Structures are given as structure tokens and as C-alpha cells.
Amino acid sequence: MAEAVFHAPKRKRRVYESYESPLPIPLGQDPGPQKEFRVFRAEMIDNHVLVRSPADMEQLYGKGYFGKGTLSRSRPSFSVSDPKLAAEWKDVKTNMPIIPSEKYQHRLSWAADLLRRQGQDENTVCRVLEEYTRPLEHLGGESSAEGRPQAGLMAETGGLLGIDGASGTMKETGKPGLGSGPGPLAAASFGECTGEDPAPASRVSSCVLDALSPQCGLLPLDSSLHAREREPGPEFVLVEEGASGGSEREDTQAVEEVKSIKLVQRKRLICRRNPYRIFEYLQLSLEEAFFLVYALGCLSVYYEKEPLTIVKLWQAFTAIQPTFRTTYGAYHYFRSKGWVPKTGLKYGTDLLLYRKGPPFYHASYSVIVELVDERFTGPLRRPFTWKSLATLSRVSGNVSKELMLCYLIKPSTMTDEDMKSPECLRRIKVQEVILSRWVSSRERSDQDEL
Amino acid sequence: MVPPSGQCRAAHGEGGGDPSLEEVLLDWGGASAPAWAGQRLPPSKPGFGTPGMGPKGGPGRSSEPLGTAVVYKARIRSRYRGTSVKAGARTRENQEGGKPVEESRRHLPALGPLGVPVGGAHEEGAGADCGQMEPEPEPAAVEVPPGRVLSAPELFAARSRSQKLPQRSHGPKDFLPDGSEAQALRLRQCREELWQLLAEERVERLGSLVAAEWRPEEDFVELKSPAGKFWQTMGFSEQGHQRLHPEEALYLLECGSIQLFHQDLPLSIQEAYQLLLTGDTVTFLQYQVFSHLKRLGYVVRRFQPRSVNKKAKALEDSLLPISLAASSPPASVQNSQCSMEKAQESKPMKGPGVPFQLLGSLEPCPGLAREGQGCGEESGKAENGVKGARKPRWNFEQISFPNMASDSPRILLPAPAPELLPANVAGRETDAESWCQKLNQRKEKLSQREREQQAVAQQFREDVNADPEVQRCSGWREYKELLQRRHLQKSQSCPSHLWGQPVTPLLSPGQADSPATVLQHISVLQTTHLADGGARLLEKPGGLDISFDVYQADAVATFRKNSPGKPYARMCISGFDEPVPDLCSLKRLTFQSGDVPLIFALVDHGDISFYSFRDFTLPKDLEH
């Protein structure tokens, strides 16, 4: 038997998510009502393909594992709850992200810095933030047991702390309200300005909102891509804060402090407006983007508000990445076999092939892609020596992946003109080869293999 | 020269069943083999390997002269390989025959003059042994010049030497040099032990050393005396002579199994390396791989390109009947009752009516379930001998299928028409009533919930046939076209920059009803195989070639040179610095290798690593 044997992919021992669907398109077999076929939207920014709508991101990553979050390792998870907190508060039914208090303090300090850079004086900065980050009652977002008393408490505290907060001093840092707060940094102290006025958010003056909203949403690196009309509304977050068990009346303060040490474990979720939003997007590799457009027809890639056609994309991507045709051919081939290819950068190869998706299985194959002509020769993207091949084989073996060489063979009749359209893929043949080490002392006899 | 006698000798050696002798053997194998290198050399495996290999016992003894020439390998191996047995055999013969003892004892200069090649052997032997050996006590310090015939007392002394491997005196390894006197001493001691061990003489029967002559002009070695045990897996006969390929001769020379002459002068190992490996046939690299594999016990033969094609053809031939046999049952599917029982009793057929009549040809059509060319070919060869019509067509209006459902109380299956059956299969009439009762033919009973679900689903479903447009369709083709039109209409909502273009997405909205169909729609690249189109590449040779056919070590016992069977693998040999074969060579070589795995052996200064490139097709993953 000269063919390589197929080894079943290894399941990951712990799987934290459930499998939704192989592809981000409505499939007849999916349970529930027949969903509308939806065309997602992505934008070309600096030769990268970004998806910005949170709903689209979720669909594209969750169904087929396309792309990666720009601020995350794989699944875009920056703007969702901290996984640890989410597990802790899993009874709380909310769609707001739960973040730890430290994180919130950071946001506050960044927002304050931003305002200061705009020339606002300290008092204004303080006041604006106070108003903006006042705890809000989130509707139905909290378990009823804890929700009510807490809101009341916070309003009460606000009145107290507000005085100090306005002055911007560091008096409050030792107070129980900030059990888990950061050190006595001036900026951090704004975290305690929990709003002296219990009035609703609408009372925040318009000038304040103007001052905050344009900047708060900005990702500093690519501020230009924010179309004004797509600006999302203020984001609400649930901040997990340490809260003391009792009230904070002055006369019992000393007692309360002792108490609060005992009750450090007791945490609350408080709904606040996020003063400094950072957006995470889904970045698609060129192959992924083109596959979604060309194979599934479920993505429109916009360049400066103009959607691009398939042929245009093919040419543009080839210009961005000269070997795009080769790598896309392989990507498409493996996708059309129902596998999930992701980049093999970390293993020194072009692609990694997952069954179902990275959360469920370990990658089975580490793939190197080459384009050759009819005579099976051609300028290789990656000419090998035995030494480099041995290295790669060893690396792949050590991470339990098989090394696959994937040759795309184009017919001799295919001209460069033909290759200017993705339709040329139909004439390309694919040869998969598995490279493996053969250990002479191990193969002496069949019995020995036990 | 006189093959019969050679075989006779081999047979004698193998069959030699002196029980006491066997004991000695086992003792050897058990005690020494593992101590040596920790290699997996199953000592109990009979008939294992060639002279160069393994702790086998009896088989080797009569034929393995163990010349002595090779300082490292031959000596070291001899210790765990059955030298002692030979001694035993000899002794026995002596006792039996009372013939004058004819033994030679040769001392060879240690590896000094032997250059590189022995160095390679040195690595292997010495690396593992260093520091493990105790200087063997030589009971009889009889110094005999090499090659001399021993006297009776000398022989006795040699025979009565301790036959146990010395224990290691200082663990196997010392790590970092610490510069201490103690360590230096230890090292020196180890080294001395090693040298002593290596210097140990082997006492062999002169008669079992096979003489052979190197014929440079023909590139082979011709045996001048009958071959030994190695003949089972090595060498070839031509014009009534026993001959060896240069690599085989060199290997046997290194093992001490043959003595090689050239122009009537014996060759040293070094000379043999120089002379035998410069020919056009075997390179030094190839020899290194050859001897590496031989030492591990593999049977290594030169690659036989012709055997590939023959085998491939034979395979094809053998496949035909098999597939035919596999496909013939469908012909009797309708009367499986009959065919099932036909094996036990072969009643004469007495079918009154023959409802199973084919309208067209009487072809058996084994490939009822399958379609395609294979079917035509096979049916052409069917035993009925019905040939000609290639188009298997069943006229189902003429074929009545028996009603086995619950509504027909009595089912009599008439005997099938004999022409529908293969020649050796008899069919007969059957009453299937009793059988039917064993089937579950009850109506499906739905639970309350299932019924509700169905009712809900019914609300949303429309009867396809109620649609007037569908009613107008006269066939599947028209219906599918209609569906296509509707899809197009629907896709008006699809953005025009995707669908209003010459190149549109492969999948249209609504086409996707299951992952499998989606994958089917987007599968545009074709798969090929390494062996495809390989014949075309054979015409322009050059570059790498397959050198050896390799058989597994445990097949040695049954190995026959004239019908070696399918190799376990085939070897291509290349230097580590040489280029990696491109797809073109890969395809050519794979085609040549046929259904045998192709392995590339890379030699880097004596170190060998192996890699295989195997054809592969990633399976489609439809289980989503």
C-alpha cells in the first residue's frame, strides 16, 4: 500500500463551546426557522480585510472559524465578558460584557487623559466623567436578589464621594467603595466619582457628550475608518466591583472598613457607561475573504464604500500578495473538503488543517503549498533542501501534525490571461503528498511495531 | 560451483538438531544480544537474517566461516551471533568424523589501515560498546599467527574460553569531562576493554569460508566454492554459477563470510571498498544504506523494475475475478432466498412461471447497483459467456418484483430464470411467508409529540404538486430548470456586484440545503494521484532512481529469491546535500515503485535517515 494512511484527527480534551455550523450561510438542516441568506460586509483597509459589525463577526467566526479578532488570539473576545467573570456570573442574564473593576479604572484614566489633552481643565474632566460613568440601573440584567439594594446603595454613596471627587484629590482611595481598586493614582481616583447626581443620563449636558463620544469610540490606529453614521451608541458594561456589606455612613466608617476586609469576597455588578471604548474587529486573511466572496457568495468586500467584484478582488489580492493564487487554490481545495484551514505560521508552514474547527480538534495536517506546471516543475515558493525538509518534518512531528505537501498543477494550456480570473481554478489539479520519517529500526518486522 | 552440495550443506546446517548444541545457542542469544547494543534483536526468531545479522543460532553455523577479517564488526557480532555454535558444530563433526581439525585462526591488524568504511562500522560497534566490556580472560594464552591452522591443544584452548560477554565495568557513559585523574583512568580502562574485546580472535573452519572472485568487467563476484547460508537471501545464479552483486560481496566480506580474490590475490576490506564500489552499479552511498539495512535484518535486493510491471499486471488480472465475484451477488438479489439456500441443497429447479424475464439481452448484469465502465468489462467476462451488448438495461415493466409487504399474505417466489444466474448458482422456488412473519411490518406509531410536530410542520409545507407550474413539468429535467429559474429570480435581491458579473460566486443563495451539497458546489479543483501519468515520465530518465527492494526481517524465513513477493518498501538513495526530488521525479519514481511504498534514504557522512513521500487524498468531512 503506497498511499499514506489517514489518521483520525485528535479531539481536544476540553471543549468550551458548541459547534454551530460549518459555514456562515443558512443550511437547510439547521434547526429553527429558515434564516435569510445574508451578505456580510467587510472593508479593505490598508490591504487588510476587516469585518466591523459585531453581528457579522460573530457569524463569520462562529460558523466556520473565519478570521481572527484583531485584539484576540483567535475568536474576537475583547469586547465580551472576561471568561473568568463570565463563569462566575453565569447566572446573570445579560448581553452586556462583564469586566473587572481594574479594567474599568483603566478606561477611566484613558478617557481622562484624552479629555485633558483636549485642554479641559481638571474640574471639567472630572465632572464630565462623573456624569458619564454614573452607575445605571440595568434592566433585567441582574439577578433580582442583588440588584435592588445595590442601586440604592450606589446612589447614596455617590452623594458622599462626589464632593471629594470633584476636587480630584486622593482622599477616597482608602475608602471601602474601592476595595479592589487600583493604587492611589490621581487618574484612578476618578473611578470613585460614581456620580453625585442621581439624575438619569439624559441630563448629561450635550457639550459633554460631544466632547466624549467622538473620541471615545476611536481605535487610535485607524481612526479614519470611522464613518460617522456608523458610530455605535454608548456601550454599557457591567463592572464587577467589590462592595462592602453595609452602608457608608460617616459615623460607622471605621467599623465598615473592618467589615469590608471581611467581605472582600462580596462582589457586585454595576452597570456603567464605558468611557473609553476600544473596538475589536475581525480580520480575515485574503484567502478567507475571497473564499467567502467567491465560493459562498456571502461577503461583500468594500473599498471606500464601493463593493468589489470577484474579478477585481482576485486581481487586488494577487497584487497585495503575489502568491495569493497558489495559496488560495489550496485554501479553497481544503475548504471544499469540509476542513478548516488556518494559517500555519506558527509551525513554519502555509496552512494548518483542522477538523470542524480549532476549538474541537487539534490540527491534523501542516501544509505547504506549491504551484507547478504540467511538467511538474516550476519556480517553487519554497525550495527545499533535505535539511530544511527534515527540520520541518521534525517540527511537525513534535506537534503531532503530519506534514503535507500540496502541489497545485496547472495545465500547460493555461495562460496568464486565464489566471486573471478565479475560474482558472477549475482546471487546476491538486496533488497531496504526505511526508513522513521512516525509522529503519522500527519497521524491521510487523510484530515489533507493537 | 556445485550448488547441490552448497544447498546440502545449508540444509544440514539448518536441520542440525543436536539438542545440546541448541542449548548453547539459546544461551548465547539470551545472554549476549541485549547486552550488546540494546537493539531489538529477537533472539528466539529462527532463521533470522543473513550471516551479517542477528543472534540466530543453527542456521548460521555451518555456512558462516566468520573469517576474522573485519576487525570491528565481524568480531563483535560474532560474539553474539553464533560463533560459539559454529564451534560446537565443529566439535561435533570432529567427534563424529574424527577428521583432522582444520581451523584457521587469523589475527588481523586492527582498523588502522582500513580507512573510512571501517570507521563507519566502528561508530556502530564501538559507540555502543564503549565501556561495557571487561577484558576477557584468555584462559589459554596461545598466540597463533592469523590464518594458521590450529593444533589440537590450541583448538581446545580456543573452544574452552569463556563464552560470556564481559560485564561492563563502569556504566555506559561518562558525561562532562571533569579533568580528574579518576575519570581519565576510567576512560582508559574502558578503552582498553574495548580494544581487548575487539582484538578477540575468532576461530573458524577454514572450509566454511567461501572463496569468491571479483570480476570487474562484469561487475559481479563469482563464488568459487559453494555458497553458505547467505545464499537464501543474497546472490543470483547465472550460467550455472553462483554470483553476488558487488554490494553483497562487500557486505559478506565485512561479515567474514567470504574471502574475495582478484587476480588470484585476496583482497583486503579496504581494497574491496575501493574496487567494488567504484563500478557503475553501486555507489558508496548505496552501499552504506545497503549494509545499514542488512545489519538490521532486512532482506535487501536490487530493485527489479520489470517485476513492477509484471506485478501490476498480475494485480490487475487478479483483481478482475475478485470484483466479478463481488459483483455477481446482485444478480441474484431478487431471489436471495433461493441463493441463500442453494448452497445447502441443490434441488432441481422447477419454476412454473418465469416472471423474471428480461426484455433485452439476457446479460446477467452483475453491476446492477453500479454503473460505469467496470460493469461492462466484467459482464463481458461473465461465465455465462454472454457477450456483446454493453448496455445493461433492465426493463422494469417486464420484471415483476415480488410483493413482500404486509398486504400480501402469501408470498411465493418463483424460481429465477437460470440465465439470470451465474453458472454455478442454482435458484429455486421459495415460499417466503414464514420469513415475512419475522419482519417488522407494523405501521409506524408516532407519539403524541411527534404527531404534533408533524402537524405543525404541515402548516408550513406546501404540496409541491399543487403548484401549477410544477404540474406543467413533464420530467425531472424540466422541474430542475424551473427550480433554477426561481433561484435566479430570487437572487435578484443578491447584490449585483457579485451576481451581476461574468464571474459569480460558486454558490447561489438557497442552493445550500446541506453541508454536503455546499461542498459539492464549491469543489472545483480536481484531485490527482502520484502514480497518474507516470508512464509518460519514464521516457526521460535521469536524476534519482530506485536502488533496492527491501523486505522485512521477519520475512527472511520464507523468503525465496526466485519469487520474492511484494517488497515491503523500495529505496531511493541520495546524499543529504543533494536536492530534494521535485514532483516530477516523485511521480516517476512512485510510478516505478507501483503499490510499494517508496522511501528515500539520505546519507550524511555515514548517518542515514529515511523519509517517505506518500500519495494522499484528504477525505471529505461531511459529518457536520
Q: Give B431-482 pLDDT, tens digit per residue.
A: 777 777 777 767 777 888 888 877 766 655 556 777 777 888 877 888 888 8
CA distance B620 to chain A (A): 4
pLDDT score recorded for residue B451: 84
- Residue A16: pLDDT over 70: yes
- Residue A49: pLDDT over 90: yes
pLDDT score recorded for residue A30: 55
Confidence grade of residue A234 (pLDDT, cut at 50, 70, 90): low
The helix or strand, by DSSP H or E, that contains position A44, with its residue range, turns out to be strand A40-45
Query: What is the residue-averaged pLDDT of chain A?
Result: 74
Geometric angle at alpha carbon B23, from B20 and B29, rounded to 5° = 150
- Residue B531: pLDDT over 90: no
Beta-carbon separation of B612 and A435 below 8 A: yes
The closest alpha carbon to A317, from A335, A332, A336, belongs to A332
Confidence grade of residue A4 (pLDDT, cut at 50, 70, 90): confident
What's the CA gap between A333 and A406, in Å, rounded? 10
- Residue A78: pLDDT over 70: yes
- Residue A48: pLDDT over 70: yes
What's the CA gap between A217 and B157, in Å, rounded? 98
Which long-range CB contacts under 8 A does B438-445 form with residues at least 24 apart?
Answer: B439/B404, B441/B405, B441/B406, B442/B406
Confidence grade of residue A272 (pLDDT, cut at 50, 70, 90): confident
The dihedrals phi and psi of A278, each to the nearest 5 degrees, come to: -120, 125
The helix or strand, by DSSP H or E, that contains position A149, with its residue range, turns out to be helix A144-167
What's the CA gap between B430 and B436, in Å, rounded? 12
pLDDT score recorded for residue B47: 34
pLDDT score recorded for residue B488: 67
What's the CA gap between A381 and A426, in Å, rounded? 22
What digits encode the pLDDT tens for the residues B236-265? 998 889 999 999 999 999 888 899 999 989
Alpha carbon distances (Å) from A357 to A54, A398, B73, B257 = 20, 21, 54, 59
Which segment of A138-142, B42-46, B613-617 scores lowest on mean pLDDT? B42-46
pLDDT score recorded for residue B462: 58
pLDDT-above-70 percentage for chain A: 69
CA distance B551 to chain A (A): 8
Hey, is the C-beta of B587 within 8 angstroms of any chain A C-beta?
A: yes
Q: Which residue of A has its CA nearest to B517?
A: A27
Q: Where are the beta strands (DSSP E) in B82-149?
A: 103-105, 148-149
**In the predicted model, what is the mean pLDDT of residues B7-17?**
35
Beta-carbon separation of A337 and B618 below 8 A: yes
Which segment of A129-143, A171-185, A312-326, B402-416 scores lowest on mean pLDDT? A171-185
What's the CA gap between B311 and B565, in Å, rounded? 9
| End-to-end CA gap in chain B | 69
Query: What is the residue-averaged pLDDT of chain B?
Result: 66
What digits encode the pLDDT tens for the residues B165-195? 777 666 666 678 888 898 888 888 888 888 8
Distinct helix (H) and strand (E) counts, chain A = 11, 14
Hey, is the C-beta of B497 within 8 angstroms of any chain A C-beta?
A: yes
CA distance B159 to chain A (A): 34
**Residues of chain A with C-beta less than 8 angstroms from the C-beta of B578:** 386
ipTM for the predicted complex comes to: 0.72
pLDDT score recorded for residue B214: 92
Grid coordinates standing for B618? 484528504
Burial class (CB in 10 A: 0-12, 13-18, 19+), A48: middle
What digits encode the pLDDT tens for the residues B500-516? 778 888 988 777 778 88
What does DSSP say about strands B546-551 and B569-575: parallel, antiparallel, or unpaired?
antiparallel
Confidence grade of residue B568 (pLDDT, cut at 50, 70, 90): very high
**Bridge partners for B266 per DSSP:** B261
pLDDT score recorded for residue B314: 45
- Residue A388: pLDDT over 90: yes
Alpha carbon distances (Å) from A197 to A128, A178, A236, B30 = 12, 19, 19, 92
DSSP B341-381: HHTT--PPP--S---B--SS-----TTSS--SHHHHHHHHT
What's the CA gap between B253 and A331, in Å, rounded? 55
CA distance A292 to chain B (A): 9
The helix or strand, by DSSP H or E, that contains position B611, with its residue range, turns out to be strand B607-616
pLDDT score recorded for residue A121: 86
More confident call, A167 vs B464: B464
- Residue B428: pLDDT over 90: no
pLDDT score recorded for residue B397: 65
What's the CA gap between A289 and A328, in Å, rounded? 10
Q: SS3 of A278, please? A: coil
What digits encode the pLDDT tens for the residues B570-598? 999 999 999 899 888 888 888 888 889 99
Hey, is the C-beta of B330 within 8 angstroms of any chain A C-beta?
A: no
CA distance B595 to chain A (A): 5
- Residue A52: pLDDT over 80: yes
pLDDT score recorded for residue B538: 74
Hey, is the C-beta of B546 within 8 angstroms of any chain A C-beta?
A: no
Q: Which residue of B has its CA nearest to A387?
A: B576
Q: Which residue of A has its CA nearest to B585?
A: A376
- Residue B37: pLDDT over 80: no
Confidence grade of residue A25 (pLDDT, cut at 50, 70, 90): confident
Which segment of A240-254, A433-447, B339-353, B600-614 scores lowest on mean pLDDT? B339-353
More confident call, B83 vs A45: A45
Which segment of A49-53, A199-203, B377-381 scores lowest on mean pLDDT? A199-203
Q: Which residues of A are catalytic?
A: 354, 362, 401
**In the predicted model, what is the mean pLDDT of residues B114-142?**
38
- Residue A11: pLDDT over 70: yes
Q: Among B526, B587, B621, whose Cβ lies nearest the Cβ of A339?
A: B621
Beta-carbon separation of B616 and A432 below 8 A: yes
- Residue A80: pLDDT over 70: yes
Confidence grade of residue B55 (pLDDT, cut at 50, 70, 90): very low
Confidence grade of residue B535 (pLDDT, cut at 50, 70, 90): confident
**In the predicted model, what is the mean pLDDT of residues B363-391?**
39
What's the CA gap between A75 and A69, in Å, rounded? 6
pLDDT score recorded for residue B461: 58
**Most confident residue range from A53-62, A229-238, B533-542:** A53-62
- Residue A185: pLDDT over 80: no
Q: Which of A:360-379 have CB within 8 Å of B?
A: 365, 370, 372, 375-377
What pTM value is reported for the model? 0.62
Q: Where are the beta strands (DSSP E) in A275-427?
A: 282-284, 299-303, 306-307, 339-343, 351-355, 365-372, 402-409
Q: Among B293, B495, B510, whose Cβ lies nearest the Cβ of A440?
A: B293
Q: Where are the beta strands (DSSP E) in B107-182?
A: 148-149
**In the predicted model, what is the mean pLDDT of residues B307-325?**
43
The closest alpha carbon to A168, from A191, A186, A194, belongs to A186
**Residues of chain A with C-beta less than 8 angstroms from the C-beta of B612:** 435-438
Beta-carbon separation of A436 and B498 below 8 A: no
**In the predicted model, what is the mean pLDDT of residues B324-330?**
38
The dihedrals phi and psi of A354, each to the nearest 5 degrees, come to: -110, 145
- Residue A212: pLDDT over 60: no
What's the CA gap between B377 and B361, in Å, rounded? 16
- Residue B23: pLDDT over 60: no
| CA B278, B281, B287, B291 torsion-angle sign | negative
Q: Which residue of B has its CA nearest to A367?
A: B618
Hey, is the C-beta of B624 within 8 angstroms of any chain A C-beta?
A: yes
**Residues of chain A with C-beta less than 8 angstroms from the C-beta of B580:** 384-386, 389
